[in-house]
Amino acid sequence: MNDKAFIDTNIFIYLYSEDEIQKQEISQITVNKYDCIISTQVLNEFSNVCIGKLNKPTEEVELAVNEIIEQCTVSLIEKHNIKQALEIHGLYGYKYFDCLMLASALNSDCKYFITEDMADGKIINNKLTIVNIYSEKNIKKYLDIE
């Protein structure tokens, strides 16, 4: 059994984008290495960016969402996630929507929170380690890529 990792939206954006091939490859390795957890928030953010910023056709986004759902366990955002997100925001000062994902990760017993947006190496509630998977040191440490 692999470690559980919550995968932030940006990892999937790189996975389905054609602009940054190295980050796309690292994203694919990451998704294959861990037992991936996401929340409904990730699916919503992913769809929004693909349709808006990347201008992908709805049918293509729907196919990608289905692939992500097949690969990952999807946690629902519930009222306890919202309450915990507010607590995390008070303790660590991250943006609320980032805190909502952190709460989902904690409630799913994830070991890692894979992203590129938050403080690499920060440990949340003595349980969850934030990992910028694209940093050179983390590529080697977490993915065993030279």
CATH number at residue 10: 3.40.50.1010
Tell me if 114 is assigned to some domain. Answer: yes
Does residue 145 lie within any of the structural domains?
no
For residue 88, being part of any structural domain is answered with yes
Q: Does any domain span residue 146?
A: no
How many domains does the chain fold into? 1
55-93 pLDDT, tens digit each: 999 999 999 999 999 999 999 999 999 999 999 999 999
> What pTM was computed for the model?
0.92
DSSP 68-116: HHHHSEEEPP-HHHHHHHHHHHHHH---HHHHHHHHHHHHTT-SEEEES
Per-residue pLDDT of 21-36, as tens digits, reads 889 989 999 999 999 9
Which structural domain range is residue 65 located in?
4-140
